[in-house]
Structure 1
Amino acid sequence: MAEVHSRSSHRELRVQAGASDNVTANELFDIEEQRNRLSRMFCFDGMGGALLIEPSFPGCGMIDAGKGDLIYSNALYEIKAGDRLFRSVDVRQLITYSALNYVSKRFQIDSLGLFNPRVGVSATIPVDDLCAEISGKQSSDLFFDIVAAISSGDISR
């Protein structure tokens, strides 16, 4: 089940030395750095917005139901903690969740974002701006087209 947190009810993740004999000092440092970056990004930025963890999006057509990473202040974020920068597949994931949300109208999502706490980079853009950049269409038109395509039965799995 998704959890909603306000800035004041932030839960802290504590990593204890010795919790696992297989964890090195460098790995513990990396874990702590990622925790700090996540906390700064989503809890201590002064926005004070609600934090919804693992928002659920119902399936549609050939796309099964799925869970995003989090929604913070009406922005849907995917967290990518690998040792890499963002890829187009990450943007497609956000667009897919947004199209599913367009059908269900479950959440108010105004922006889409990617955050990598390991590398320490983030990108956030209004939904309408991203849709215009990638398709030349308004978000409602693009999402309608996506929903029509995944529901038509013309696409094979």
Structure 2
Amino acid sequence: MISEQHFSSSFTSVWHKITPLADTYWRRENLKIKRELSPIENRADPKLRGFLNELAFETFKKSKEMGLLPRKELIIPIAQNSVEKIANYIFRITNEEESIAQTLDNNAQLEVFGLTQNLMLFFPKTQSIIFRPKFSGCGIVSACEGDLIYNDCLYEIKAGDRKFRVSDIKQLLTYSSLAFLNGTLNFSKVGLFNPRNGYHWERTIDQLCIELSGMRESDVLSSITSHMTQLAISR
């Protein structure tokens, strides 16, 4: 079985069959994406970017659960207490010592705080957040989890120093199709947010499916899971 990220970024012929208009749509859509918050300054070593992105999300999650305000003197201790956990997680993925840090220097602290602050500002209502929603696997795709659901919208947090990609919306459709298959589709919208550059994108699932394929939400999502199953059988 494979991850949802692998499925979303690979199998070009499958995705072209399901969403033939995706590339054209996303080129057009990328021109409309607006900045919602001020970008943060990239202060730390770029090799630590994945580690700091994950650390900021964990810090954001814990800060919201504790009811904290986005103030540096409150946020930095939460980040420091999460360093070991996130470092172990990232090292298991990369197996590279230079991709993690055991302590946070001043630049790393400022970058983590900036990311965390933007996340807290963009998702202000604690009671409206469901962190790390879980999705059962299907066929070739393993069980997985998303980032968060907020106000009826499934969000993926993409904190890299880049624009959103068409594979990002395919990842959101992958989660949505798994939820649809299991009768747990408790959101009607999908969205992307980048706390590093402040950009945000959001659409209803049905609107997105029509734009990508000319078909309604139920047809597209069921087609995705059908292909997951067919790919597993063909292996």
Structure 2 unaligned residues grouped into runs of 5+: 1-60, 81-100
Following superposition of structure 1 onto structure 2, how do residues 115-130 of structure 1 map, counting pairs within 5 Å?
115-130=193-208
Q: Aligned residues: percent identity?
A: 35
1:26 aligns with 2:107: yes
Counterpart in the other structure of 1:64 = 142
Q: What is the distance in 1 between the residues matched to 2:179 and 2:163?
A: 26
TM-score (norm 1): 0.82
* C-alpha spacing 1:49/1:64, structure 2 compared with 1 (3 Å): same
Contact 2:206–2:217 (CA<8 Å) still a contact in 1? yes
Contact 2:135–2:175 (CA<8 Å) still a contact in 1? yes
The AA in structure 1 aligned to 2:134 is S
Question: How much does 1:24 deviate?
Answer: 3.5
Counterpart in the other structure of 1:152 = 230
Q: What is the distance in 2 between the residues matched to 1:69 and 1:119?
A: 18
Question: How much does 1:38 deviate?
Answer: 0.5
Counterpart in the other structure of 1:74 = 152
Contact 1:54–1:68 (CA<8 Å) still a contact in 2? yes
Q: What is the distance in 1 between the residues matched to 2:147 and 2:216?
A: 24
Following superposition of structure 1 onto structure 2, how do residues 103-142 of structure 1 map, counting pairs within 5 Å?
103-142=181-220
Q: What is the distance in 2 between the residues matched to 1:34 and 1:111?
A: 23
The AA in structure 2 aligned to 1:26 is N
| SS at 2:191 equivalent | strand
- TM-align CA RMSD: 2.7
Q: Deviations over 1:80-120 (max 9, x none)?
A: 11111111111111000000011112241111000111111
Q: Aligned residue pairs: how many? A: 148
Q: Which has the higher contact order (CA 8 A, sep 6+)?
A: 2
| SS at 2:190 equivalent | strand
| SS at 2:203 equivalent | strand
Higher strand share: 1
Q: What is the distance in 1 between the residues matched to 2:232 and 2:185?
A: 29
Contact 1:59–1:66 (CA<8 Å) still a contact in 2? yes
The AA in structure 1 aligned to 2:147 is D
Q: What is the distance in 2 between the residues matched to 1:113 and 1:43?
A: 16
